[in-house]
Chains A and B, each alone.
Chain A
Amino acid sequence: GENVEQHPSTLSVQEGDSAVIKCTYSDSASNYFPWYKQELGKGPQLIIDIRSNVGEKKDQRIAVTLNKTAKHFSLHITETQPEDSAVYFCAASIKGTYKYIFGTGTRLKVLA
């Protein structure tokens, strides 16, 4: 079945450094890849997404890259700040459905 692997499960960085979270998906037909940030006690919030016809997308300090051949996509956060500390989830669409497969999450800690 469809699967999304996400690494690392935890990540600690110093404030101002960059953070990279990587995901690999199994279904080559997946064509939409959102990223979510979940703060403690809240629902996940969409932070950026990318479609399969684009290789990279940026929004201020956040960027996502997609390698369709390798079935990899990554989240890049530059100049990290303490408020970036949260759990981040990647997801991939399942072609022909309205469903998404989520990664297992990465707990990011930005150390001041």
Chain B
Amino acid sequence: SQTIHQWPATLVQPVGSPLSLECTVEGTSNPNLYWYRQAAGRGLQLLFYSVGIGQISSEVPQNLSASRPQDRQFILSSKKLLLSDSGFYLCAWTGLYNSPLHFGNGTRLTVT
């Protein structure tokens, strides 16, 4: 069966520090991968998605970037965090077209 791993679960970082969040998927090949952000009590905002290695689509201009160095690895990064980057970051994957999104358990990022 397929599983998605996301870490760390929580992270507290000072303003101006770098960020690296990692997500890996097991049990499937060539997944479509996604990064979402969820502000407190809010909906899901799509940040990036990838349909293959090195292929990244950015949905919202911001202080973040994403990379996909391996088929089942998706990384969310920032060179300098802003207070507004605080939130709950979720990685997700899908297989076939029009198939369910499967989410990881998220990373709660607090920028202080």
Contact = CB atoms under 8 A, between A and B. Distances in A.
A81 interface: no
B44 A89 contact: yes
Contacts, number: 47
A70 to B, nearest CB: 21
Contacts of A102: 43-44
A71 to B, nearest CB: 17
- Which one of B44, B46, B92, B103 has the greatest number of beta carbons of chain A within 10 Å? B44
Interface residues of A, number: 22
Interface residues of B, number: 21
Contacts of B51: 98
A44 B103 contact: yes
Interface of A: 31-32, 34, 36, 41-46, 49, 51, 89, 91, 93, 98-100, 102-105
Interface of B: 6, 32, 42-44, 46, 49, 51, 90, 92, 94, 97-98, 100-106, 108
